[in-house]
Structure 1
Amino acid sequence: MSFTKVQAHRGASGYAPENTIAAFKKAIEMGADGIELDVHLSKDNELIVMHDEMINRTTNEKGLIKDFTLAELKKLDAGSWFGVKFKNERIPTLEEVLILVKTTPLFLNIEIKAGYRMYKGIEEKVLALLEKHNMINRSIISSFDHYSLVKIKQLNPKIKTGMLYSASLFEPWQYAKSIKSDALHPYYITLNKDFILNAYINGLAINTYTVNDEDVMTKLSRGRVSGIITNYPDKAKKIVSSIQGN
């Protein structure tokens, strides 16, 4: 059994438009262990799966997600930007993804988006959907907004949380303990053997992003990190299996 789990970053986003059902289905086909995705709230408070808070980059419309209703967002083309064969791929809701994934063995890494815009009540809505679909034990909530992670734990201490960060932090396991986080989600360039060892000594998993270089995948697999978050889950699975076994 491989120790390192492969998480498909926004689905298999190297092969299909990110954060779409097409990308999530491709990740399942490629044997990913889990799927990483991002959530925002629409104008009518529906949980929308998309990375950016603006729809400009990945759809045929412009503006902020928060200014569109779900019905309006569902009319947009979220696939043509990636390739002609994905024309009219739609923006999914979190519930649509849960319905897809819950019949598989995969787990979910749900990133609550952070930035200058805060979504009131998003934590309660995410947890309610996970409870509805019996996915609490198969999910981890991550965010760069660590206040959001604290709130998640207050609402449901049973669900796992992952602390996203990009800088090289001094002894982040101490801070992670203070916010009751279960995992560190660092940018991969900040990792080394001592860091990995200390994180494990302190009882924390390490899910690192966004690893698309095969040499880096190999090093991380040999270092036995908990999770590799990648746009190319097929490549990562092949490397992890060759080093750690199936």
Structure 2
Amino acid sequence: MGNGIDQALSADWPYPRLVAHRIGGRLAPENTLAGFDACIRFGYRMIEFDAKLSSDNQVFLLHDDNLNRTTNGRGPAAQHTWQQLASLDAGAWFDVRFKDERLPTLAQVAARCEREAIAANIEIKPCPGRDEITGRLVALAAKDLWRARKPLLSSFSFDALKAARDAVPSLPCGMLFDALPRDWLRIVRELACASLHANHRHLTQQNVRAMRDAGLRVLAYTVNDPARARELAKWGVDMICTDRLDMIGEDVVS
């Protein structure tokens, strides 16, 4: 894929066009350090991942509220301490090659991002009833852990993103939507968002233009078809989040 991805960076928007969904897309167990190798192999310079809190407020990576799908644990993640979570196998479910892969902390991911010069989109993914504390603690941790390039925060939870913005106003944030609500502009302005992150199925050339005209950057998720990625790039979408690191490269979106 070469270094073309980085050529699109600018002073006011320091993030690459292509974003690896849940770090490794379909090439590694989601939300684990194993995905970094796939990113680097295919030339990706930005990752997206999900951050939540353990019962003792350690910030770690996991998408689901429950442990069952992607670990050998059981039950709600929020009911487990970090010591309990750290012992779980988070890789064997994906492939035996990843047996004993662990759930990483935000600090571990930040260290790898800094070492490899990889940008980050942290999706704040609170467990039920923990929106505000998760947003606040993720933002505070991110402020201290990232030095070279500030991570981009996002969330489907208005309360979590507001708490993050209140805690660390200097970190850029983007509101996540599935279907766009009619008042999307009011919401993103209330949160002082730098970007809007939307399910690509609900994006049209017209609403992408409206977002850009409002001064917003646009992230489309989860785009796994090269033809659709090419179309979105032509419409002016700034970031394309994909599972198909092996199929969607800079040649597709440039």
Map of 1:59 onto structure 2? 71
Match among 50, 54, 58 for residue 38 of structure 1: 50
CA distance in 1, matches of 2:56, 2:179: 35
Displacement of 1:134 in angstroms is 3.4
Contact 1:142 1:164 in 2 (8 A): yes
Structure 2 residue 208 is matched with structure 1 residue 199: no
Please give the residue correspondences for 1:18-29 in structure 2 after superposition, counting only pairs within 5 Å.
18-29=30-41
Contact 1:187 1:209 in 2 (8 A): yes
Once the two structures are superposed, what CA deviation does each residue of 1:188-232 show, in whole Å capped at 9, x if it has no partner?
011111111111111101011111122211211222311011112
Map of 1:70 onto structure 2? 82
Displacement of 1:5 in angstroms is 0.9
Contact 1:47 1:93 in 2 (8 A): yes
Map of 1:84 onto structure 2? 96
Worse-superposed segment, 135-144 or 44-53: 135-144
Map of 1:173 onto structure 2? 185
Worse-superposed segment, 175-184 or 109-118: 109-118
Map of 2:17 onto structure 1? 5
Map of 2:60 onto structure 1? 48
Q: Secondary structure at the match of 2:164?
A: helix
Q: Are residues 136 and 243 of structure 1, via their aligned partners in 2, closer, same or farther at CA, if it must alter by over 3 Å?
A: closer
**Structure 2 alignment gaps of length 5 or more:** 1-6, 10-15
Q: Secondary structure at the match of 1:102?
A: helix
Displacement of 1:95 in angstroms is 0.7
Map of 1:241 onto structure 2? 251
Q: Are residues 153 and 136 of structure 1, via their aligned partners in 2, closer, same or farther at CA, if it must alter by over 3 Å?
A: farther
Map of 1:143 onto structure 2? 155
Contact 2:23 2:49 in 1 (8 A): yes
Once the two structures are superposed, what CA deviation does each residue of 1:19-40 show, in whole Å capped at 9, x if it has no partner?
0110133213322131101011
Worse-superposed segment, 213-222 or 171-180: 171-180
Q: Are residues 85 and 161 of structure 1, via their aligned partners in 2, closer, same or farther at CA, if it must alter by over 3 Å?
A: same
Displacement of 1:120 in angstroms is 5.2
Give the letter for the 2:47 counterpart.
I
Q: TM-score, normalised by structure 1?
A: 0.91
- Equivalent pairs: percent with the same residue? 31
CA distance in 2, matches of 1:131, 1:235: 33
CA distance in 2, matches of 1:185, 1:61: 31
Worse-superposed segment, 151-160 or 88-97: 151-160
Structure 2 residue 157 is matched with structure 1 residue 133: no
Give the letter for the 1:7 counterpart.
V
Displacement of 1:111 in angstroms is 0.8
CA distance in 2, matches of 1:76, 1:114: 20
CA distance in 1, matches of 2:89, 2:252: 39
Root mean square deviation, CA, Å: 1.9
Aligned residues: 242
Worse-superposed segment, 168-177 or 26-35: 168-177
Q: Secondary structure at the match of 1:21?
A: coil
- Structure number with the bigger relative contact order (C-alpha 8 A, sep ≥ 6) is 1
Displacement of 1:84 in angstroms is 0.9
Map of 1:186 onto structure 2? 198
Contact 1:136 1:159 in 2 (8 A): no
CA distance in 2, matches of 1:54, 1:130: 24
Q: Are residues 202 and 47 of structure 1, via their aligned partners in 2, closer, same or farther at CA, if it must alter by over 3 Å?
A: same
Displacement of 1:168 in angstroms is 3.1
Q: Are residues 133 and 114 of structure 1, via their aligned partners in 2, closer, same or farther at CA, if it must alter by over 3 Å?
A: closer
